Structure 1
Amino acid sequence: MSATTTMSNIDFRHSQSAHCESGVVSSLFRHHGLEISEPMAFGIGAGIFFGHLPFVKVNGVPGTTYRIFPGAIFNKASQRLGVTVRSESFRNVERAMEALDEKIAQGTPVGLLSSVYYLPYFPPAYRFHFNAHNLVVYGKSEEGNYLVSDPIMDVATEIDPESLAQARFAKGFPEPKGKMYYPVSMPDSVSWETPIKQGIEQACHYMLKIPVPLFGVKGMRFLAKRIQRYPEKVGERKAGLFLGNVIRMQEEIGTGGAGFRFMYAAFLQEAALKLNKPELSRLGAELTSVGDLWRNFAFQAGRVCKSRAGDTGSYQELGEMMIQCSAAEEVLFRKLAQVKF
């Protein structure tokens, strides 16, 4: 059965994206007539971030994030652009699936929060317990499978009801709880200056001004020092596991840390054109160079993990590289915070 055969006849245009949530936001808004690129959705939603939470375990290791928490990009972009949205979570699997069926029968494509582990169209190597993956369901095939526009995939696909229900109600942190979301009404027109300004101001606050030293550039330095102490604190085996998760969150979850920097750079360059502010384009070019620093860190960290014999000196060097990333980002976001709108 072709993925274009639907029982709800929703004419939904699939687009492959760099990151799941910003890709879903762009796709859903475009479906309802608001043309917005993925980087612009990411930037207005202030998606760029950093946090290290040693007390929050993800698959048994400390959690690291290079983007803001799930749902924030959609909520903030909607609020700033004047889009009215509806978001629902459920306790009951049956009710969650019924609610999804009701919306697609009405011709409304729906964003869903899911676990990667239960999505059978993902290659086995990428199916691990990550419960914050976003996708769009826009119809059902005659066989009863759901039609899926997953931003990570190059083409639209299908998923059986049982797998989708498992993905929507996976256990672990965070629990998706069947969450679904969709636009209810769109603005007649959009003025870009205020949403862009608000998104930039919030991103600068995230990266520079959160007083807790686990977030923003302070969080990078905090993690850098912990990486340097991994071998002596947790032993060689756990040090490799902990470091491996830092790399996984940077390079494999959505766009990851470096990719988010490249996407935010694209946002700044697009914003420069929309607002006629060439200084934003120059800062975008600088941020691209910061993304290169992160990629180099990941490459070197991967070599340490694969060697299975990363000595203390290797971890010391990796910590210094992350401190370099934090210093570059602090300079960049301080400049960005000074831009006059």
Structure 2
Amino acid sequence: MELQHTNFKHLQAAHCENGVTTALLRHYGITKITEPLAFGMGSGLFYIQLPFMKVNGGPAISFRTMPGLIFKRTCTALGVPVTRKKFRSHEKAMQELDGRILAGKPTACQVGVFYLTYFPKEYRFHFNAHNLIVVDKKGDDYYISDPIMEGLVTMNSYELERVRFAKGAFAPRGQLYYPGDHLKEPTDEQMKQGIIKGIKRNCRDMLHIPGSFGGVSGIAYTGRQIKKWKTKLGDEKARSYLAQLVRMQEEIGTGGGGFRFIYGAFLQQAHPYIKADELFDLSQKFTATGDKWRDAAIQASGIYKGRLNTQADYDNMGDRLIEISALEKQAFQQLKALVGKIK
């Protein structure tokens, strides 16, 4: 697609907010940033199961930080000013976006997934924390850089307005956000300090979050719950709960295995800045837990598709998460000890 007002370069990424953060910062002048570095500086790795809350009729499970935090934290670490706006008026929201786009300033939006016309129907469900970049406009068509797509896509004004004002949890309310213009490359010391802060915050979130249902403790909590689902909920509901887990893990932002692979890449890319060889071993450990998350998803899929249906199958699934919890606890403890020695 030929852009009229900007020379924006589309970036395909594993996760929408990482991709938006990286592509926007690169466009406005920071070339040192990569998707793994943004994810790590933004402390994107997370886990929680809220025991008294349901989402789409299933357990409320999240593998990610709150929407917007990866972008905000990464920009803060690099000294980048951030503007974020929400709107009551649909008209003002579209006018504000149009003004920036026609001035050649690509702008990110938080949107709902359900009405994204370029998504396959099987991927459209009520999830309002998706991120994309509007990069240009021609007539009534907006050119969209969505990091999970191979190239630019288009939406007309009605379609874009509808996803920007989707209803429900995390309703975006026309939200748009962007960094400052003409950014300066961060120094290596800024990169180093941003990496260290991101690691420390992620260790805190995974090791020391209060309660038993967040961080590495939360992974084991879900594992113990899964063992009870067949008896407590009955086959049909138990299978739907596992389907929800896999959807949150593998389809909404690559949360389970995918995030571990990205975090492993982050630790490797951190090495030039903090030069601790232990990072390579820890990178391999997170990659290994990513493989175990993917194996757990295959086990869960076998159950909810009806190929596996005994209590032993649910016990197997629960044990997999309990094992992952122990491995990630050990890895984060080692990582915490390592960065505690770095100045």
Residue 282 of structure 1: how far off its partner (Å): 1.4
**Distance (whole Å) between structure 1 residues aligned to residue 248 and residue 7 of structure 2:** 34
Aligned to 1:332: 331
Quick check: 1:73 aligned with 2:70?
yes
Deviations along 1:126-157, one digit per CA (max 9) or x if unpaired, are 1111111100001102x311110000000111
CA distance in 1, matches of 2:303, 2:58: 18
Q: Would you say the 8 A contact 1:113–1:131 is kept in 2?
A: yes
Task: Give the match for residue 297 of structure 2.
Answer: 298
Q: Give the gaps of 5 or more residues in structure 1.
A: none
Q: Which residue of 1 aligns with 2:214?
A: 215
CA distance in 2, matches of 1:256, 1:73: 14
1:270 alignment partner AA: Q
Secondary structure of 2:234 counterpart: helix
Alignment partner, residue 126 of structure 2: 129
Give the SS at the match of 2:256: helix
Q: Name the structure 2 match of 1:270.
A: 269
In 2 relative to 1, CA 30–5 (structure 1 residues): closer, same or farther, beyond 3 Å? Answer: closer
Matches within 5 A, 1:158-197: 158-185=154-181, 186-187=183-184, 189-190=186-187, 191-197=190-196
After superposition, the C-alpha distances for 1:161-218 in whole angstroms (9 at most, x for unaligned) are 1111111111111211111100025345332111000000000000000112221011
What pairs with 1:196-235 in structure 2 (closer than 5 Å)?
196-235=195-234
1: CA distance, partners of 2:166 / 2:51: 23
One-letter amino acid matched to 1:260? F
Q: In the aligned structure 1, how far is the partner of 2:72 from the partner of 2:228?
A: 38
- The verdict on how the C-alpha distance between 1:316 and 1:146 changes in structure 2, with shifts beyond 3 A counting, is same
Per the alignment, residue 4 of structure 1 pairs with: 2
Q: Distance in 1 between matches of 2:247 and 2:185?
A: 41
Q: Give 1:52's aligned residue.
A: 49
TM-score (ref. length: structure 2): 0.95
Equivalent residues of 1:247, 1:301 under 8 A apart: yes
Given residue 85 of structure 1, which amino acid in structure 2 is its aligned partner? V
Q: CA deviation at 1:242?
A: 0.8
Task: Kindly state the Cα deviation for residue 224 of structure 1 after the two structures are TM-superposed.
Answer: 1.0
Q: In structure 1, what is the equivalent of residue 27 of structure 2?
A: 31
User: What is the 5 A alignment of 1:243-254?
Assistant: 243-254=242-253
Aligned length, in residue pairs: 336
Distance in 1 separating the partners of 2:185 and 2:206: 33
Distance in 1 between residues matched to 2:12 and 2:252, nearest whole Å? 15
The secondary structure found in structure 1 opposite 2:305 is helix
Percent of aligned positions that are identical: 43
Q: Kindly indicate whether residue 287 of structure 2 is the aligned counterpart of residue 288 of structure 1.
A: yes
Deviations 1:89-116 (A, max 9, x none): 1122111111111111222111110111
Give CA-to-partner distance per residue, 1:244-283, whole Å, 9 cap, x none: 0101111111222100000000000000133222111211
RMSD: 1.3
Listed one character per residue, the Cα deviations across residues 285-321 of structure 1 (whole Å, up to 9, x for unaligned) are: 1111111111111111110111176222211111111
Q: Is the 8 A contact 1:240 1:308 kept in 2?
A: no
Contact preservation (8 Å) 1:272, 1:279? no
Which residue of structure 2 aligns with residue 83 of structure 1?
80
Question: Partner of 2:10 in structure 1?
Answer: 14
Counterpart residue number, 1:279: 278
SS at match of 1:182: strand
| The one of 104, 107, 112 aligned to 2:109 | 112
3-state secondary structure, aligned to 1:148 = strand
